[in-house]
Structure 1
Amino acid sequence: MRHLYDGVPDILAEIETRAPDTSDHLAETARIVDLHHPRRLALTVAEVIVETPTTRTFRLRRADGEDLPPFLAGQYVGVFTDGTSRPLAISSSPARLDHYDLTVRRVPGGRISNHLIDTLAAGDQVTTTGPMGTFHHNPLFHGEDVVFLAGGSGVAPAMSMIRDIVDHGLDRRFHLLYGSRDEQDIIFRDELDRIAAGRPRIRIDHVIGDLLTAGTIRDLAGPLEGRMVYVCGPQALYPYALEQLTALGHARRRVRFEANGAPARPEEQAHWPAGVDPVEEVIVTAGGRSFRSPRGRPLLDALEDHGIRPEAACRSGECSLCRVRVVKGRVHTAEEARLRLSDERFGYTHSCVAYPLTDLDLDL
C-alpha cells in the first residue's frame, strides 16, 4: 500500500530543480531592511539656517554623500544628544533625500531645544534614528482636502507636506492655519507665502497673537465636513484645538494629532489617583540599581537620569520602543500611551509616558 508521504521526496526533488536557490539570503535581506529602516544614522550638520530669532534649521547629510532613507512627509527622526533623545520632525521634502532638515525652536526652559540651538554648528556629528512616526498623509483614509492647525515649530511637518505637494505635483488641497505669537515668530514665512501665491490649492493663513478659536477656524477654513484636520504644536494646543473643533461639530475621527511628548502635569489627568502627590519620591529599581524619583517624572526620564537608557524614539507613548515590564509596584499610564492588549496583560508599560505611583521593580 502506498503511503500518503511516499511521494514527498519526488516532490521536493522537483521543487529543487525549479528553484535551485533556496537559501534565505538573510544577510542581503538585513542589508535591504537596514537601508530603508536603519536603527541609527551617523549624520553631519552641513548647514545651520537661521529661520527666526528663536528658530534654527539644521541641515543634516551623510558624510559619504549618499542619499538618506526615504520618509513620508510628517515623519520624524529621534536625535540623540546630552544623554537623552528627542523626536524632531523633518521639515524638508521627501523628494530630496540628499539631506534632512530638522527645524528647532527655542523653548524657555527646554533642555534639548536650547542645547541644540546653543551648541550645534556646521561640521558637527549627529546620531539619529531612521525616519519614524504615523503623522503623515494617507490618501485612502484622509482624502485629498486637508486642513492643518499649527503653532510654533509645529509648522515643521506641515512644511514637509507642502514641499511634498510642490515637488511631486500632487493634486491635493492643503490649508494651513498657522498661529504665531508675533510677526517675528513666523517660521518659513517667505517660502510659505510664495508657494501659496503660485498654487491656488495651497492656502496659508497666519494667525498672529490670537488663538485658533472655533470662530477663527470657521471663518478662515470654511466648512470642515469631510475634511481631515491635522494638529501640531505646543502641548497646550491639543486639548484646546479639540475643544474648538468639537464646538464646530467636527468628528474626532477626522482629527489627527502629532504625538508631542509626555504630559507635563500627569496629575491633571482624570485617572490620576486622588490624593497622590506628584512631587513625593518613590524608589525605582531597574538594571541592577535603585534610585529615588518623583512620582510626576516620566520613568524614561528618571532612568536616563541614572545612566539607564532604554531604546526610545517618540517619547510620546506611540512607538513602544521604550517598553518596560513592571515586576512589582504600580504606575500611572498617561492617556497618550498606545498600549497593546498584551502589554496590559503581562504588565508592560511605555516608560516615556508612565509615572511611578509606588516603589517599583522594573524588568528592562
Structure 2
Amino acid sequence: MARTAVLRRLKWHAARVLGVHDETATARTICLEVRDWPGHVAGQHIDLRLRARDGYTAVRSYSIASAPFSEGRIEITVERLPTGEVSPYLTQELMVGDYLELRGPIGGWFVWRSGQTEPVQLIAGGSGIVPLMCMIRSRALANSTAPFRLLYSVREPGAIYYRAELEALSTRPPFVTTQYAFTRVAPNDWPRPSGRIDRDLIASATWPASVGATCYVCGPSGFVESVADLLCSAGNRQDKIKTERFGPTGLPE
C-alpha cells in the first residue's frame, strides 16, 4: 500500500537517450537526460515505460547506476533477458536521440547517503551490482572517507559489469576493496575454485561483524536470502543488513 501511494504521487518524465555503451555481451548502460528530474539518492531505482504503436504499454524497474548529477542526467544498466519484452529493445534497438518515459526516484530503505561514516559492505549477485555501483560513485562524488568493500558474485569474468572502473578503484583513491566469486568459470590463476559465496568467503572477504558495517546485498532472491543468512551467522546485526531482491524477470521486488 505504501509503495502504491508513493507511485501515485510520482509523475512520468520524458527522458532523451544521450548515449549507450556495452558493459558485457548482454548488458548495456544507457545515459538519459531527464526533463525536470528531482535528483536521486544512491540505491534508488526508476520505473521505465515503453509504449507500442497499438497502445500496449510495458513498465519495468531499473536501478540507477550513476551518482547524482546536477544537470539531470542518470544512467541505468540493463541486462538482456532472452524472453524479455523490454530488455531486448533497450539493449539492441534503442538509439541515441530516442525518448523514453520514466518516473522516480523510488525507494528509501536500500540507500546510502553521504552523511554515513561507518564502514560499508557491498555484496552483489550478477546485475545486482548496479545500485551498489551508484553507491560507490556517489561516495567518490561526495569525497566521503567511509571505507567500502565489495564482494561481487558473477558467473565468469566476462560477466563483470564496470570492470575497468572497479579495477581502477582497487589501486587509487577513493579505494574500494573488491573480491570476486566466480560461480561457473574462474580464471586459471584464481586462488579459489568456482562456486557460490559461502561461510569461508564471508569470513575472509567482508568486514568483521565487530566493526558494525552497514551491509547492502542485491541480486536474485535466492542469492540475497543466502547471503543475508551468512552475514547473520557471521555475527552481523540484522538491522545492519539491507537487501534488494530481484525477481525472475529481473525487477526489484
Question: TM-score, normalization: structure 2?
Answer: 0.81
- State which of 57, 61, 68 in structure 2 corresponds to 1:94: 68
- Runs (4 or more) in structure 1 with deviation over 4 Å come to none
CA shift, 1:163, in A, is 0.9
Aligned twin of 2:3: none
Q: State the distance in 1 between where 2:69 and 2:136 align.
A: 12
Aligned twin of 1:248: 234
Aligned twin of 2:50: 81
Aligned twin of 2:187: none
**Identity fraction in percent:** 30
> Quick check: 1:221 aligned with 2:190?
no
> Quick check: 1:110 aligned with 2:95?
no
Bigger radius of gyration: 1
CA shift, 1:40, in A, is 1.1
Higher RCO, 1 or 2 (CA under 8 Å, sep at least 6)?
2
Say what the alpha-carbon RMSD is for the aligned residues.
2.3
Q: State the distance in 1 between where 2:77 and 2:119 align.
A: 25
Gaps of 5+ in 2: 1-8, 52-56, 184-194
Amino acid across the alignment from 1:214:
R
CA shift, 1:58, in A, is 0.8
CA shift, 1:224, in A, is 2.4
Aligned twin of 1:55: 27
- Within-5 A mapping of 1:185-334: 185-199=159-173, 201-209=175-183, 210-225=195-210, 226-261=212-247, 316=253
Aligned twin of 2:156: 182
Evaluate the alpha carbon distance shift between residue 200 and residue 57 of structure 1 in structure 2; reply closer, same or farther with a 3 A threshold.
Answer: closer
- Conservation of the 8 A alpha-carbon contact between 1:172 and 1:201: no
C-alpha offsets along residues 158-187 of structure 1, whole Å, 9 cap, x if unaligned? Answer: 111111111120111111111111111000
Gaps of 5+ in 1: 1-36, 265-313, 317-364
CA shift, 1:139, in A, is 6.8
Q: State the distance in 2 between where 1:228 and 1:149 align.
A: 11
Q: State the distance in 2 between where 1:223 and 1:94 align.
A: 30
CA shift, 1:111, in A, is 3.2
Aligned twin of 2:189: none
Evaluate the alpha carbon distance shift between residue 45 and residue 93 of structure 1 in structure 2; reply closer, same or farther with a 3 A threshold.
Answer: same
Q: State the distance in 2 between where 1:232 and 1:138 align.
A: 17
Evaluate the alpha carbon distance shift between residue 111 and residue 247 of structure 1 in structure 2; reply closer, same or farther with a 3 A threshold.
Answer: farther
Evaluate the alpha carbon distance shift between residue 161 and residue 139 of structure 1 in structure 2; reply closer, same or farther with a 3 A threshold.
Answer: closer
- Conservation of the 8 A alpha-carbon contact between 1:42 and 1:125: yes
Aligned twin of 1:125: 99
Q: State the distance in 2 between where 1:200 and 1:93 align.
A: 14
Q: State the distance in 2 between where 1:184 and 1:49 align.
A: 15
